[in-house]
Amino acid sequence: MFAALFSKLGVPIKTTVSATVLEEALNGSVEIAQLHLGKSVCRKVEKQSAHFYSVDITEEEAKLGLVCRVCSTAKSKFKLLYFEPEENGGLSLALQEDSAKTGKVTSAGMFFLGFPVYRFEHNNSAAAAKDPDSAFFKRLDGFQPCEVNELKEGTHYFAVYGDNFFKSATYTLEVVCAEPFSTEKEKLRSVEAKILAKRSELSKFESEYREVLAKFTEMTSRYAQEMQTIDELLNERNAIHASYTNSPTLKRSSSDSKGKTSSKGSKSDDDQSVRKEKKSKSPTTMEASASDEEGPNKKEKKPKERLRRKRWFNIHHLKVDKRRPC
């Protein structure tokens, strides 16, 4: 469970094949499907389970080379396994390749081409983030030779193991003869030879890089020290120049002028900005703002005064009955 959580967080965890699968293979109690060269198989394997396959090759096909590759467009995690037959009819695990992300898919492959081929295990991304320099120089340390480089004629056994923690793995398996791929065969031999040469060059380059980096760090530290020393000497020179006076106030001000000018400059700037704001608010603008505030009130009072006058005026028009005594 903890391995699954770390895998979800992007931390690579080295897993092993389930003991149940290995035991069933040793006992010969696994179901084996027949494969044909050049034919691909697309299936889905449950987590911590395996699909077993067998393929028959002739002596000529064995000399030309054999390639077994598995890929998953769903980017599932899986293991490609190679088993050797035992005397009791069971199968024992001989080789395994973990799937790795290559572009938009995950893939794994075994190449039996009659010459040394190599597997490449990626470095830990978390360790690379902490120390990228060391990760760079150790990047090709995972480039190691495969144990088996060629196969003999006969029946050979492969398996695809579901290495997902929470769900099944979808995959496409294909076993091909290397005869139509003679150009790719030579290209692979050439590029792996270049990678080996580059790995040996990296070890030499690392020592040179470390030496130059230490020298660069030393020079940058000295640069900062020299800059500070020059500033101190120039300030001391200015202070000596300023001491050539009989006025004690000038001596004191010259020594303190450097520290005070910055603070005074900031205060004067603030005072000037405040003064400018006060000047911008002229009496005319103040009166205009006051009139704007009083304007609506005056307009609101006029209709009220008219209503009062009308009401007062209407009192004189009331009819009074003079015949009735008060």
Q: Each residue of 141-179: pLDDT tens digit?
A: 888 999 899 999 999 999 999 998 788 999 999 999 999
Q: Which helix (H) or strand (E) holds 70?
A: strand 66-72
User: Residue 43: what pLDDT?
Assistant: 95
- Distance, CA of 125 to CA of 131 (rounded, Å): 10
Any domain includes 15: yes
Task: Please give the average per-residue pLDDT across 51-76, as a whole number.
Answer: 95
Q: Is the pLDDT of residue 295 over 80?
A: no
Residue 101 CB contacts under 8 Å (≥ 6 apart), including other chains: 75
| Neighbouring-strand partners of residue 95 | 82
Any domain includes 39: yes
Q: Is the pLDDT of residue 282 over 90?
A: no
Task: Please give the average per-residue pLDDT across 34-56, as a whole number.
Answer: 95
User: Residue 13: what pLDDT?
Assistant: 54
Any domain includes 104: yes
User: Residue 11: what pLDDT?
Assistant: 45
What percent of the chain shows pLDDT beyond 70?
Answer: 70
User: Residue 61: what pLDDT?
Assistant: 94
Q: What angle do CA 241, 243, 245 make, to 5 degrees?
A: 110
Cα dist from 167 to 7, 24, 77, 243, whole Å: 13, 22, 10, 84
Asked which of 11-15, 76-80, 168-172, 294-298 is least confident by mean pLDDT, the reply is 294-298
Any domain includes 95: yes
Q: Is the pLDDT of residue 290 over 50?
A: no
Q: Is the pLDDT of residue 301 over 90?
A: no
- Distance, CA of 77 to CA of 3 (rounded, Å): 13
User: Residue 250: what pLDDT?
Assistant: 64
What CATH number does residue 47 fall under?
Answer: 2.60.120.380
Q: Which helix (H) or strand (E) holds 129?
A: helix 125-130
Cα dist from 60 to 151, 153, 179, 248, 300, whole Å: 11, 8, 10, 106, 110
- Distance, CA of 172 to CA of 255 (rounded, Å): 82
Q: Which residue range(s) make up the domain with 11?
A: 2-114+150-177
Task: Please give the average per-residue pLDDT across 79-106, as a whole number.
Answer: 93
Any domain includes 253: no
For CA atoms 21, 27, 30, 34, the dihedral sign is positive
Are 117 and 190 in contact by the 8 Å Cβ rule? The answer is: no
- Distance, CA of 73 to CA of 171 (rounded, Å): 7
User: Residue 19: what pLDDT?
Assistant: 93
The span from the first CA to the last CA of the chain, in angstroms, equals: 109
Any domain includes 129: no
Q: Is the pLDDT of residue 200 over 50?
A: yes
Tally of domains in the chain: 1
Task: Please give the average per-residue pLDDT across 63-77, as a whole number.
Answer: 95
| Neighbouring-strand partners of residue 55 | 35, 156
Any domain includes 135: no
Tokens 């092993």, residue located: 16
User: Residue 122: what pLDDT?
Assistant: 74
Any domain includes 102: yes
Provide the 3-class DSSP secondary structure of residue 323. coil
